[in-house]
Amino acid sequence: MLTNTRYLKSIKAPKKGLLKPGSNNKKLGFKITKGDWKGKRLFSLTLTERATCPPSCHHWIDCYGNNMPFAHRFDVGPELQTEIENDIDALHSKYMEGIVVRLHVLGDFYSVDYVKFWDIMLLVYPMLCVFGYTAREEDSEIGKEIKMLNLRYSDRCVIRFSRSKEYDAETKTRYAAEESFEGKGFQCPEQVDKVKSCAECGLCWEADKTVIFQSH
């Protein structure tokens, strides 16, 4: 059973510039043009698929990281957090409107301490926003911390759980589902060519309804 990326040589030690501008990825885009985060610049972080993910992930075997041999996957640990903070500090000073970090292109929240690290970043840097998706179970220790992060910074943090569920108004939990989902939701506009990039859309961090992704 696979427990790590197929591309072990692509795993890099954390270094300056590990937050990559969204302009490097046509799906993401760079300058956000809609919604409450309009004007902010979009960056992304890539970790290592499977090594940081729960085995319960529906795409454990067919992860789209299997088709990304050239992605730079950053190793986890204290050095990672140090370099992320260094990048955020520099970018926070450069872009007065603030920045958004997409968590994660590959990989997932790998520990409670790592989630708490993002809590500190959101507290220290008021113009920072984060969004992304997690395969963690909602009732796991990591999942519970992610829910608290979403609640504590509801206007600046939207991490959707990858589950075929509808918005939970009581806990304000949002979800991301596959195309077989039949509940209340919306198709990812970028995947159906309604927008060019996430930066021109914003629904994943603006809308409560479940976002539905086409299978990759």
Q: What is the pLDDT of residues 152-176, one digit of tens each?
A: 999 999 999 999 999 999 899 999 9
Phi then psi for residue 30, to 5 deg, are -120, -60
Verdict on whether the full-model pTM lies above 0.85: yes
Residues of the chain scoring pLDDT < 70? 1, 216
Residue 198 contacts by C-beta under 8 Å, 6 or more apart in sequence? Answer: 22, 27, 28, 29, 42, 102, 190, 204
At 216 the pLDDT is 61
Per the listing, tokens 């640990």 go with 77
At 2 the pLDDT is 82
CA distance 150 to 182: 25
